[in-house]
Amino acid sequence: MKKLFISAAIVGSMLTLYNCKDAPKTETKILTKEVTFKKEGELELFKAENDSVIAKLDIEIADDDYKTQTGLMYRRSMDEDQGMLFIFDNMQMRSFYMKNTEFALDIIYFNSDMEIVSIQKNAQPFNETSLPSESPAQYVLEVNAGLSDKWNLEKGDKIRYTRN
């Protein structure tokens, strides 16, 4: 009986291996959907001393844990008139990094009065180096790299925003 069981197991294994050898090879494709911009509000950057508008942006708003932690990760690009505004409950030192972010950004930190307190320019894709604010911040705006220079942004310049 024992010999019969062992023989049957060997024959079964051989048949399985033979059938697997001739099985058609198939590729498994994992389909992913590209993360795209979803307008959730509008934002204006303006000079503090004279209220002149510097730029107007369509924004996505990150105001919960998931959106704050994910940010602009896994995106290939963003239009020049778009940005992501991070809204926090309080003012404190903030720090961002570029993990899984595929394009360079300027990271602009604002205090509770929505005034620029510091700017991290040209943050490089996939770089996990900490990019801290120089002062406590409650709001953070991410835009394409180079825009803070193009717009001549300075400490003290302000934002105002509306939600859709």
pLDDT digits (tens, 9 = 90+) for 75-84: 999 999 999 9
pLDDT of residue 143: 99
Q: What percent of the chain has pLDDT over 90?
A: 77
**In terms of pLDDT, which residue wins out, 23 or 78?**
78
Domains in the chain, start-ordered, CATH in brackets?
Answer: 41-163 (2.60.120.1140)
Q: Region 35-60: what's the mean pLDDT?
A: 96
Q: Region 104-130: what's the mean pLDDT?
A: 98
Pick from 18-22, 32-36, 77-81: least confident: 18-22
pLDDT of residue 8: 52
pLDDT of residue 137: 99
From residue 28, give the alpha-carbon distance in Å to each of 14, 25, 31, 48. Answer: 26, 10, 10, 55
What does the alpha-carbon distance between residue 44 and residue 28 come to, in Å, rounded to a whole number? 46
Ramachandran category for residue 97: left, alpha or beta (phi over 0 → left; psi -120 to 50 → alpha): beta
Reduce the DSSP state of residue 85 to 3 states and report it.
Answer: strand
Reduce the DSSP state of residue 52 to 3 states and report it.
Answer: coil
